Amino acid sequence: MKSRILVLSLILTLLLATSSGVANPGGKGDSNRDYTCGGSCHGDPSLSSPSSAIIDVDIPSTVYSSTTAEVSVSISNLDTSDNGLVGIFLLGSKNGNSDHPEDYGWAIIQDPNGGSSNYIEAVSSDNQVTVSWVLLVPDDLGTKEIYVSIQHGSYYNHNNKAFIGETDAIVVNIEPIPENYPTLAEGWTSPEERISGDSSPITIRTVNTESLTVYWRLSGETSSHEATVDMVADQEWEVSLPATLGDTRIEYQIIASMDEFSNQMPWLSIGTSEPYFDGTSLGAKLQSVAFILIILGFMLSLQTWFAPRGVKKSIDHTTVVEESIVSKKTEESTSEPDSDYWSRLIKSDDNPGWLWDPVENEWVADPNLSGGEQ
């Protein structure tokens, strides 16, 4: 009975300790997610409130299969929290699971933040956000649907819940691609970023393309420049873009041509990252040992630096000790014989006044007599 009460008390404590607010004010980062995220992204109506935001989606109503298409999303009338963060979903359905665009044949070449995710987070400016995805259209023909959903906080949000907004289905008609129409190869995605200062060419793979032209510009610029393009293999191209520094983003546009067709694709972008750590485990260990030796050397230097000054050098006392030993022997030789010496001496009646030393084989005068005669 006590164990049951203990278990029930523990469950009740955990339930009471759980906060009723389920929003993530700091966001959770870009990733590939279903609409409800298993209930953790506020898809449950009990965990969210309707958003007052207005969502406009711009995508061509008719596209060719296996070509690129741009989805532009403009969000206005936002009422966000202090950080202005907005989470934006690009979806193929609103089933709650398996509603990623790739589940319906679309491929994300690039998301608004330079990656390839269907869920991204953006910061609103003046209560509005404009972002765009670049997609590769599915191979199968017919109609496909695209949805956009948003979630955000609010300054006046005492329950710490998310505000949800969503669009109706945007219908896209997919028609067969004309024969020999130039486009990007299936599976190719734009590089997300390059290392600061890196001017290595990027590789682009295409199909049905006999010539490729690429224009580039820095983010925020309106004028563009033509890049150098080299064909390194069949339907494989290397494009030389200038190196960037800091947090600069460079944008580029691909134009693929074949006979009378010219496919001008949406602008893509590449970010700039700090240099990665390049080393081996052995190098890291050797560097650690070097640091240890440097620290030990520094400690020894400190010990030498703070050692007492003006201390006299140690004196060699060998001569003093030797003189002391000689002096002691001399004193022993001149001093009176000890009791062991006198006890070994033998009196002789034939030689009164003298004692015989059997060790030294000599006569010694008896000190108890005034003098000794032989």
Cα gap 257→17, rounded to integer Å: 63
| Domain final residue pick, 135, 156, 177 | 177
Is the domain of 198 the same as that of 262? yes
Nearest to 108 by CA among 140, 75, 133, 74: 133
pLDDT score recorded for residue 26: 52
Chain mean pLDDT for the chain = 80
CB atoms closer than 10 angstroms to residue 302: 10
pLDDT score recorded for residue 359: 80
Lowest-confidence region among 106-120, 244-258, 328-342:
328-342
Cα gap 128→6, rounded to integer Å: 52
| Span 64-116, pLDDT tens digits | 999 999 999 999 998 877 778 889 999 999 887 788 999 999 999 999 988 88
pLDDT score recorded for residue 295: 85
Between the CA of residue 163 and those of 14, 18, 43, 90, 180, what are the distances in Å?
Answer: 26, 20, 10, 17, 47
Residue 124 lies in a domain: yes
CB atoms closer than 10 angstroms to residue 145: 15
Residue 156 lies in a domain: yes
pLDDT score recorded for residue 24: 55
pLDDT score recorded for residue 132: 94
Cα gap 111→190, rounded to integer Å: 10
| Domain final residue pick, 143, 162, 177 | 177
Q: What is the largest CA-CA distance in the chain?
A: 156
CB 133 within 8 A of CB 102: no
pLDDT score recorded for residue 290: 82
pLDDT score recorded for residue 44: 55
Between the CA of residue 358 and those of 355, 362, 366, 372, what are the distances in Å?
Answer: 10, 7, 15, 18
Is the domain of 254 the same as that of 232? yes
Is the domain of 38 the same as that of 157? yes
Residues linked to residue 107 through DSSP beta bridges, in sequence order: 136
pLDDT score recorded for residue 323: 67
Residue 20 lies in a domain: no
Residue 56 lies in a domain: yes
Is the domain of 44 the same as that of 165? yes
Residue 14 lies in a domain: no
The residue with tokens 């907004």 is 165
Is the domain of 210 the same as that of 83? no
Is the domain of 119 the same as that of 31? yes
Cα gap 298→291, rounded to integer Å: 10
Is the domain of 78 the same as that of 205? no
Stronger pLDDT, 339 or 189, i.e. the higher one: 189
Residue 374 has pLDDT above 70, yes or no: no
Report residue 234's pLDDT band, with 50, 70 and 90 as the boundaries. Answer: very high
pLDDT score recorded for residue 333: 53
Is the domain of 72 the same as that of 163? yes
Q: What is the mean pLDDT of residues 160-169?
A: 85
What is the DSSP track for 226-273? EPEEEEEETTEEEEE-----TT--EEEEEEEEETTEEEEPPPEEEEEE
Q: What is the span of the domain harbouring residue 190? A: 182-275
Is the domain of 99 the same as that of 128? yes
Residue 189 has pLDDT above 50, yes or no: yes
Stronger pLDDT, 259 or 161, i.e. the higher one: 259
Q: What is the CATH number of the domain that holds 165?
A: 2.60.40.10
Between the CA of residue 14 and those of 6, 22, 39, what are the distances in Å?
Answer: 12, 16, 19
Residue 173 has pLDDT above 90, yes or no: yes
CB atoms closer than 10 angstroms to residue 121: 20
| Span 251-287, pLDDT tens digits | 999 999 999 999 999 999 998 888 766 667 777 777 7
pLDDT score recorded for residue 95: 82
| Domain final residue pick, 119, 149, 177 | 177
Is the domain of 54 the same as that of 161? yes
Stronger pLDDT, 368 or 251, i.e. the higher one: 251
Residue 293 lies in a domain: no
| Span 10-61, pLDDT tens digits | 555 544 444 344 455 555 678 888 776 544 454 555 667 888 889 999 999 9
| Span 279-323, pLDDT tens digits | 677 777 777 888 788 888 777 777 777 776 665 555 566 666 566
Cα gap 121→105, rounded to integer Å: 23
Residue 64 lies in a domain: yes
CB 92 within 8 A of CB 103: yes
pLDDT score recorded for residue 222: 86
Is the domain of 251 the same as that of 352? no
Is the domain of 114 the same as that of 154? yes
Residue 184 has pLDDT above 60, yes or no: yes
Residue 322 lies in a domain: no
Per the structure, how many domains does the chain have? 3
